[in-house]
A and B are shown apart, each in its own frame.
Chain A
């Protein structure tokens, strides 16, 4: 994806909106965040806490909370708050939202950005 487009007839040049680029990058990060949480919580709870043939039901606790729930949900919950704070304060960008972009005229500088977004 190229950041800008040159127009041969002297019409305004257009580039990807930064808010879109930042938001898209952050959305991928959040999707990964969700995936990691899913792949941690459910398998850990299943492995440590679910009844399976030939295995007695788990009875151990950490501070009164079943061990499987402690490691599978309580600890990740705490970690996720810290990770959310890190993501929001370090990764997410502050962007200006109030500057409205005038729609370009039909002639001139409009470029087919959808074609570029494919790449």
Chain B
């Protein structure tokens, strides 16, 4: 395979990106000219309900395909395999559900009431101010969090795009100097801040300036970029793996890798820091060399002799190891590699596959495996990537410490037992020393207790309890037997639980339910359903989006299961698999410039989601809070200024939030998406289809869904120790619980309260007979 110079690929990507941004601003300028001609509010927030087929279909499709479709989703496919085909299967009915279920009726009710936002629709339908306010409050609450996550996601994609460009490094260094004196920005990396700034300025500027039409037109362009990107990547990938049939057979033979933690021991500290990529290396072993890839880019600081806890991935499938070695080594380097392998058997030192590292580190660096973690489900099983449930990778210690057992004799067994009595690591030693890297802080940050045990060949275990803190190195000299103790651990030791794998049956049902049904309940998508001009645009739009999603989502599954064959060992940085695949397959095909187009796809996906959310939030604040509740007689010019200002302020607030973003971005996106569905779907369905529904019913459904959904997360926080590991009642996702409660609440409370005003019902459900 031809290697592509990273700088050349990144330059091509940068050129594409600049062209793309220019196009976005041209579209925003054109959209702003439309604003001058039409009623400002209706045009700015809803495009004057004038969208035709292609604009409607592609803005809906692009808004639905968020950044996760091109970052988180490929990453999951890479890690779990073909099972992601079932995970995403609900997308086969997603367009007809999300567009057809509410579309026609919502558009009609919005026209009857003159509503231009979702809270507006609910407020008018039930003639209830409190419902409108509650809806605005929930939208701002959920979408503000989601915006922060999307801003961070956009910045990370941009950082990947620019990471090898010298100009970018120079600019980020300048920014770093500027940031150095600003309080609150101490922990923010300057390259991330620069990317966030570029992303935020571009997306806020075009959304603020052009309003809904700018968002729609850029969505159309972004939608086209996405589908072209996937359509190019698919055949290139299949060609690279030698055909899908062959790839399918190889994937069925593949076993999951192991995760390792490594210590690098240098003979002498380095004078200057050494920054290295995620390089490959061969570790000598009695059963043959082990092929290992460093988990991510890493650094050896100057003046340090031991670098601890570097994560790495070890391949376990013989055929994959051979194929990868063929890629890494060719020509004369093969002979040199064999010589080094011979040496490594004698010296016990690793062989680095990267020539620079081989010469700089090879002779003077010892690599010690301090922890080996097998997959929780699927370890050693052939076919686990091609069946269900999918394999689940182990969790590496996030704040590790080292247990260093010395004074051992060959043949002794050593093991580490956690407080529940589970054996987390066990080794038979050939040397006088064994090192173990273990987690040193629990979810709350408290120290973790272990028992370290040794057994001489007579098989009698004895041990010593220890409480560890992050980065601590705890040593125990077992040759001093007088210091051996018994801990208060359970007598019967157990292995760590295997787990249910990725997507067991209950969750498969939940996800099928979640994508289509919760997608239907998203206010960001609903507002697009209020913007098409005629029902013919809706009918044809559903078919267009159905074909569009079929061209995007299943091909993505094929591309990124094949990525396991082309780019093995990337489990620890699988979020980078999309740009890495783009660079790899286009480079191998001799068209590095195409990488820019492919990398623009995820960026376009994030932008198209962010711009829509920005408008939904600002429209809620300007239209539903200020104009409808505070100052109904506000002048058009003031509304215009307020709308611009509000979009700008919301965007800036999200940018500030993303400077120090919370850790669990994907989990936040899941929480906000499912929370919005739990709040909005039932009230909207009943508002549109049931004349008997009362304002009390709608309000209780909205709040009931919110509280039920939130309670699953809070219960999970108490039971599982993390807000983002929600409690799954009967194995079901919280969104299912939230939706059931919300639907029941609307129905029951509506039945229990007096019938709605007949005048209101006639307005939205009846028409006068003219004879």
Contact = CB atoms under 8 A, between A and B. Distances in A.
Contacts of B540: 88
Contacts of A95: 104, 108, 535
Interface stretch (B2-10, B222-230, B509-517): B509-517
Given A49-B388, A117-B691, A38 B112 contact: no
Interface in A15-72: 15-20, 22-24, 26-27, 30-31, 33-34, 37-38, 41-42, 45-46, 49-51, 56-59, 61, 63-66, 68-69, 72
A66 B249 CA distance: 9
B535 A94 contact: yes
A58 B509 contact: no
A98 interface: yes
Contact of B690 (A14, A41, A59, A117): A117
A117 B765 contact: yes
B458 interface: no
Interface stretch (B136-144, B360-368, B542-550): B542-550
Nearest to B97: A34
A88 B542 contact: yes
Contact of B104 (A23, A69, A77, A80): A23
B766 interface: yes
B245 A37 contact: no
B95 interface: yes
B72 interface: no
B468 to A, nearest CB: 36
Interface in B231-274: 243-249, 252
Nearest to A41: B89
Contacts of B689: 20, 23-24, 27
Interface string B102-136: 10110110011000000000000000000000000
Interface string B352-391: 0000000000000000000000000000011110111100
Contacts of B85: 65, 69, 73-74
Contact of B759 (A16, A85, A103): A103
B767 A14 contact: yes
B95 A84 contact: yes
A26 B763 contact: no
A21 B340 CA distance: 78
Interface string A90-101: 001111011011
User: Of residues B101, B542, B756, B765, which shows the largest number of chain A Cβ atoms within 10 Å of its Cβ?
Assistant: B765
A34 B93 contact: yes
B536 interface: yes
A49 B83 CA distance: 9
A67 to B, nearest CB: 10
B490 interface: no
Contacts of B383: 56-59
Nearest to A17: B767
Interface of B: 82, 85-86, 89-90, 92-93, 95-97, 100-102, 104-105, 107-108, 111-112, 243-249, 252, 381-384, 386-389, 501, 505, 508-509, 512-513, 516-517, 534-536, 538-540, 542-543, 546-547, 550, 554, 558, 688-692, 755-756, 758-759, 761-769, 771
Given A92-B100, A114-B755, A117-B690, 6 more contacts: A37-B93, A49-B388, A61-B248, A87-B96, A113-B761, A116-B691
Interface of A: 4, 12-20, 22-24, 26-27, 30-31, 33-34, 37-38, 41-42, 45-46, 49-51, 56-59, 61, 63-66, 68-69, 72-74, 76-78, 80-81, 84-85, 87-89, 92-95, 97-98, 100-101, 103-104, 106, 109-118
Closest 10 CB pairs of A and B: A64-B244, A64-B248, A57-B383, A23-B105, A114-B691, A61-B248, A50-B388, A88-B539, A14-B766, A117-B691
